[in-house]
Chains A and B, each alone.
Chain A
């Protein structure tokens, strides 16, 4: 079984400050890890993924995430938050075998204050 935990329901940060949205995972095998963002009443937009290789992954809109195998974490980060980054963020994991379906975390609402 695979699972994803996003321990924070909401993260508040001031515009211009760095942000971190936490994600830990549990899989039996090599994980493929993803971050998606969702705006109100919209589908999910892909931000970035880790498949293999460099542990630091850079994605869309200045976001990046670091894969940490020993801590089974894949935290999302951005050096300087924008008000427009305010949205719901989902971490997801899948295996490279089997059904390869994504399992999502519970989501973290990011609120960036001006």
Chain B
């Protein structure tokens, strides 16, 4: 149980285009989902926290107009990188929690984004 999937696993896009990454909780309902970004050989940096049905809370320094997050249902959150640039190339990882008070946080397998 407690599986989180991400789609796609890898995506290559051209500079200036937008790309959407999906994060799904497959066997549980996630009221809270998190989006992280990981640069090569570095740690995970929290980008934003999203609660189902409400606007995402972005971390300081993360452009909300560039990284659009939607959490429309209890099993799906999407991250859209708009007008992507090569510096947006990174490994994006989502995670999900059953509720805000839950101890367990389940991570997706990640999405490798390459912007050419």
Please give the distance in Å from A107's CB to the nearest CB on chain B: 5
Interface of B is mostly: strand
| Interface band, chain A | 20 to 34
- Chain B residues in 8 Å Cβ range of A36: 107
Assess the B46–A43 pair: CB atoms within 8 A. no
Contacts of B103 in A (CB 8 A): 32, 49, 51
Cβ of B54 under 8 Å from chain A: no
* Cα distance, A38 to B96, chains bound together (Å): 17
**Does residue A27 face the partner (Cβ distance < 8 Å to B)?**
no
Shortest Cβ gap from B78 to chain A (Å)? 17
Q: Is there contact, CB below 8 Å, between B105 and A43?
A: no
Contact of A56 with B by CB under 8 A: no
B34 neighbours in A (Cβ, 8 Å): 101-102
Partner of A100, one of B91, B100, B107, B108: B100
List B residues at the A interface (Cβ < 8 Å): 4, 6, 34, 41-44, 46, 49, 57, 91, 93, 95, 97, 100-101, 103-110, 112
28 contacts between A and B (CB under 8 A): A32-B103, A36-B107, A41-B91, A42-B109, A43-B93, A43-B107, A43-B110, A44-B95, A44-B107, A46-B105, A49-B103, A51-B103, A90-B43, A90-B44, A96-B101, A99-B49, A100-B100, A101-B34, A101-B46, A102-B34, A102-B95, A103-B46, A104-B44, A105-B43, A106-B42, A106-B43, A107-B41, A107-B42
Mark A residues whose CB is within 8 Å of B: 32, 34, 36, 41-46, 49, 51, 90, 96, 99-107
